[in-house]
Amino acid sequence: MDKVFIKGLSIQTTIGFYQWEKEIKQTLIIDLAMGWNIAAAAKNDELAKTLDYADISLAVERFANENPVDLIETLAERLANFLMTQYQIPWLKLSIGKPGAVHNTQTVGVEIERGQYN
């Protein structure tokens, strides 16, 4: 399957289980791979026929800020659902890293895969 991807998208958002985390913004790093047949867009060189990674990057940051949650698991599940519905994406792999969360680590996070991979 062809894919459109976004790697290392850095967003600032409110996320976390603890009370103090609900009063600040923290950095999340998002990697997203989205299944898409790119042949139609390539045929006539048409942005409208593919997944616009610029538009989706903005949508990811907007979604996170409009839907504050405690766990990155919850954000991952809800964001995957939103993107698949909004952009008719048949399959995606999404990872969310929270680099500031645990001392002495590079990052911590979750990775999920949703939908049908053909």
Catalytic residues: 98
Question: With binding defined as CB under 6 A, does residue 97 bind ligand LV4SOB2L?
Answer: no
Q: Which residues pair with 15 in a beta bridge?
A: 69
Span of 5-13, 16-24, 29-37, 77-85 interacting with ligand LV4SOB2L by CB under 6 A = 16-24
The answer to whether the beta carbons of residues 6 and 53 sit under 8 Å apart is: yes
Question: With binding defined as CB under 6 A, does residue 96 bind ligand LV4SOB2L?
Answer: no
Question: With binding defined as CB under 6 A, does residue 16 bind ligand LV4SOB2L?
Answer: yes
Question: With binding defined as CB under 6 A, does residue 98 bind ligand LV4SOB2L?
Answer: yes
Q: Which of residues 53-92 bind ligand LV4SOB2L (CB under 6 A)?
A: 71-73
Which residues, in sequence order, are CB contacts of 23 under 8 Å at separation 6+? none
Quote the tokens at residue 94: 């999404």
Residue among 38, 2, 3, 18 nearest 98 (CA) = 18
